Amino acid sequence: MARDDKATRSRTGRSPIRTCLATVVRSVEVTPRMLRLTLGGDELRTFDGGRQADERVKLFFPAQGERIPVLPEFGPEGLVYPDDATPPHARNYTVRRFDPAGPELDIDFVIHGDGRAVEWARDARPGDVLGIAGPAAGSLPPADADLLLIAGDETALPAVASILERLAPGTCAHVFIEVADRFEEQPLAAAPDTDVRIQWLHRDTAVDADDDQLADAVCEFPWPDGTVHAWVAGEALTVRTIRRYLCNERGLNKHTLHAAGYWRRGKTVEEWLNDPQDTDA
Ligand SMILES: Cc1cc2nc3c(=O)[nH]c(=O)nc-3n(C[C@H](O)[C@H](O)[C@H](O)COP(=O)(O)OP(=O)(O)OC[C@H]3O[C@@H](n4cnc5c(N)ncnc54)[C@H](O)[C@@H]3O)c2cc1C
C-alpha cells in the first residue's frame, strides 16, 4: 500500500473515517458562480453527517477517461491507496445539507475557473460517480462569547450557512462575506432567537482590484466591548492577514479563533501545502 501526499493527509485528520461512492442525482445553479450537486446512492446510507455545523468531506474525483475514482482506506498514518493505484484528485468540500432519508447530500461548488474539482463539477451529469470520505467536524469557537465574528469568501459560504442555521439562541453574530458581485449573494437563514448581521462585500466594486476587502473590513470593524470569538475561512493569504490581526491586535487565540485557508490564489492545493515557504496560512 502506498501512502498519499502531505496535502491529503494533513487536511483530513487521522481518525478512521468512512469512504463511499456516490452518484450525481442533479445539478442546480445556486448563483451564476455557485453550483449545487446533489449526490445519492445506496452507499451514502452509511454517511454519518448533517447534524453539525461546518462538516467537511474529502471528495475523490475520477481520473480523466475513468468513471469511478480509486478510493483510499484510512490507516494510522492517514489515507492509504492500493500499491498499483495512482491517488485520485482529492479536495475538501463542505456538507451543505444531508438528508439521510434520501439519502441526499448537497455540495456547493464555487465555479472558479480551472481546477480538476471544479471542471468535474461543471461537467457532472446524473449518474456520474465520485468518492467521499467523511464527514469530519469543523472547529467552532465556544459559543459563550458576546459576539461571534464570521468572515469568509464564497468557498466558506456553505459552512457559514450551516453555522448560522445552528447558532444557539441568544447568539449575536456579525458576518462578513466577500463574493464576486451582488449576483453571488445568497439568502442566509439564522437560527431563531439570534441576532445576526450580514455584510456582503463585492469584489467588482473594489476601488483597487488588489484590495483585500475582507481583511480590511475585519480590521476596520469597530471592536465591541465584551468577548469576541471568531470563525474565518477563505483564500489563504487573506485568512493569514485576518488571523494575525485578530491574534496580535485583538488578543484572540487558538481557543477563541478558528481560521482556515481553504484555497491559495495562484497555486493548486498540492503546490500550496507542499511549499515549506507557504505553510503559515
Ligand atoms: C475545509 C474546506 C472546506 C471547503 N469547502 C468548500 C466548499 O464547500 N465549496 C467550494 O467551492 N470550495 C470549498 N473549499 C475550497 C476548495 O477545496 C478549493 O477551492 C480547491 O482548491 C478546489 O480544487 P480545484 O481542483 O478546483 O482547484 P486546484 O487544483 O486546487 O487549483 C487550481 C487553480 O484554481 C485556483 N482556485 C482554487 N480555488 C479557487 C477559488 N475558490 N477561487 C478562485 N481560484 C481558485 C487555485 O489558486 C489554482 O490556481 C473548501 C476547502 C476546505 C479546506
Residue 109 CB less than 6 A away from ligand 1: yes
Give the fold, CATH level 3, of 2-137.
Answer: Elongation Factor Tu (Ef-tu); domain 3 (2.40.30)
Ligand 1 atom closest to 153 (CA): 41
Left (φ > 0), alpha (ψ -120 to 50) or beta: where does 41 sit? left
Per-residue pLDDT at 74:
79
On the CB side of 250, how many CA atoms lie within 13 Å of its CA? 25
| Nearest residue by C-alpha to atom 18 in ligand 1 | 263
Q: What is the pLDDT of residue 78?
A: 77
Ligand 1 touching residue 262 (CB < 6 A): yes
Give start-end residues of each CATH 3.40.50.80 domain in the chain.
147-263
pLDDT of amino acid 4: 36
Does 117 sit in the ligand 1 pocket, CB within 6 Å?
A: yes
Cite the residue boundaries of each domain of the chain with CATH code 2.40.30.10. 2-137
Tell me what pLDDT residue 17 has.
Answer: 76
Q: Is 68 in the pocket of ligand 1 (CB under 6 A)?
A: no
Q: Give me ligand 1 centre to Cα 192, in Å.
A: 32
Is this model's pTM higher than 0.85 or not? yes
Measured from the CB, is residue 12 less than 6 Å from ligand 1?
Answer: no
* Candidate from 60, 61, 263, 268 with most ligand 1 atoms within 8 A of CB, to mutate: 263
**CA–CA separation, 20 and 24 (whole Å):** 13
pLDDT digits 0-9 by tens, 93-145: 999 999 999 999 999 999 998 899 999 999 999 999 999 999 998 888 888 99
Residue range 147-263, CATH number: 3.40.50.80
What is residue 259's predicted lDDT score, i.e. its pLDDT?
97
- Decide whether any atom of ligand 1 lies within 6 Å of the 257 Cβ: no
> Is there an atom of ligand 1 within 6 Å of 34 CB?
no
Q: Which residues of the chain have pLDDT under 50?
A: 1-15, 281
